[in-house]
Structure 1
Amino acid sequence: MSASLSGDLVDRGTRDLATGSVGLDEDGQIVTYTVAPGDALYAIGDRFCIANALTIATLNHTRTIQPGEVLLLHPDSSVPWVPYFNPADAPAGYQQIPYQLAIEAMGAAAAASDLDAMRAIFADDLSGLFPNPADADVIAEALDAGDLEALRQMFA
C-alpha cells in the first residue's frame, strides 16, 4: 500500500482559489498545503503543477476540503498508505461505503490526535473490511505503537 503524486511539485505561487500556505520538509521540499477559505482543489492542483487535482482528494481521503485542513502533497514512501475507495484486492460487490466512512472517521480522529477513537473505529468498523488480513495488521501495528505520525499519513 503506497500513494504518491507523480513528478516534482512546483509552487507557482498563490492565485485565485489557492491562497493557502505551504509546508516544507527539512530539505525544502513541498510536503503539505494548508487550505485557505475559498480554496478549490483544481486551483490548488494548478498552483503545484498537478495534472489531476482529484488525486489530492484521493491521497487525503476526502471528497471536500475545508479551511484550515492540512493536505498531504508529498507522502513519506516508507509509510504505508490506506486506499480511500476500497482495498486494492477488494472482490466484486465489495461494500465500499462502510469502508469509506470508516476511512474518513480514521482520518478525522488522526487529525485530532485521538488514538482511542482510532482504535475503536478500527476494531468496530474497519479491521474486518480488509480482504487481506496483512493490510489490517499494518494498521494495527501503528495503532499498538501509538505512532500518530504514521497514522496521520495512512489516513491523511
Structure 2
Amino acid sequence: MSLSILSAENIVLKKVLTDKEEAIRFTGQILVDRGYVEPAYIEKMLEREEMASTFMGNFVAIPHGTDDAKTEVKNSGLAIIQVPEGVDFGDGNIVKLIIGIAGKGDEHLEILSNIAIVVSEEENVEKIVSASTEEEVLSFFEGVN
C-alpha cells in the first residue's frame, strides 16, 4: 500500500503554531474538514496526547486519537503540517513536522509503519520541513511500501 490517502489538499506549508494544543487542534481540524473523522475525534487526539506524547523524535509528532476514538473515524486519512519555526510538544521536544492520522479499523498500523520508514531518516525530515510545495512533500511518501 502506498500512502494514497495523502493528497496535496491535506498538506499545510509554513504554518506557525504557538503550542502543542493548537497544533493538535489544527491538525485534527484538517482531518475533520477533509471528511476523515467526526469533530469529536479532535478531543480524542488531545486525550491521547495526555496519555503519552506523540512526539517521535527527529522533529516529528504523529498525533492521533485514542483507541476508543475509532467510532469517530469515517475513513482513513492523513494531514501533514510543516512548522519550520517549530512548536514545543513538551519537555523541550521541538516539532517541525506534524502528521495527523486517522485509521479505519487497523489501517493506522500500516499507515504508521509507512510513515516511520520516511521520517526515521532525519535528512528526509529536514527536506520535508524545507519543501516549498505540497507536491515536493508528497514525493517523499509516494511509493513507500
Tell whether the structures are fold-level matches, with TM greater than 0.5: no
Rg (Cα) greater in structure: 1
Q: Which structure: greater strand fraction?
A: 2
Higher relative contact order (CA 8 A, sep 6+): 2
